[in-house]
Amino acid sequence: MTEQVKPQEKEKMTIVVFSGELDKAIAAFIIATTGASMGMDVTMFFTFWGLNILKKNEGGMKSKGFKRKMFSILNRGGSKRLKLSRFNMFGLGTWMMKMVMKDSHYPSIDEFITMSKDMGIKLIPCSTTCGMFGLTENSFRGGVEGIAGAAFFVNEARQAKVTLFI
């Protein structure tokens, strides 16, 4: 942490992704990929329900302990299980949203994750909430960075030009 800011150093953007809803995930990825395409160094820090976005779509429910196991059945996660924060209507609204996005050639969440990795965006699960929910690095899809704690986030955020909590 010498932090000698060299003139050619990239401006940073840090996004906390707290929410695990489809619409908020799309907003987070649009802003992150836009930032990266404009030359910013982007870090996305996934915590609480946001961890669901990075969970494997298959398996990955091996939380330890009875209470955590119960909770992980409810809070299954995976990019394909995200729902809209409004108008979900037992899945109908979410399905309509996905159709509209597909028709308009917007990327899906899986495509956004691949794009993000290709653009050098760092996708980091929060170790504190991983601990709460009984998740390990193995719970997440490939390409996700190692888990890191809140101190890592705060350190990124205080160097960043743009910090958002989504």
Q: Which residues bind its own copies (CB under 8 A)?
A: 11, 13, 16, 18, 20, 23-24, 27, 30-31, 34-35, 37-38, 40, 47-49, 65, 67-68, 70-71, 74-75, 85-87, 89, 93, 96-97, 99-101, 103-104, 106, 128, 131-133, 149-151, 153-155, 157-158, 160-166
Helix (H) or strand (E) holding 123: strand 122-125
Q: What are phi and psi of 98, to 5 degrees?
A: -65, -40
Q: 166 by DSSP, 3-state: which? A: coil
Report the nearest approach of its own copies to the CB of residue 43 (Å).
Answer: 13
Report the nearest approach of its own copies to the CB of residue 65 (Å).
Answer: 7
Residue number with CB closer to its own copies (31 or 115): 31
97 touches 117 (CB < 8 A): no
Report the nearest approach of its own copies to the CB of residue 57 (Å).
Answer: 19
Q: Comparing C-alpha atoms, which of 161, 124, 147 is closest to residue 39?
A: 161
Report the nearest approach of its own copies to the CB of residue 73 (Å).
Answer: 11
CA 42 to CA 54: how far, in whole Å? 17
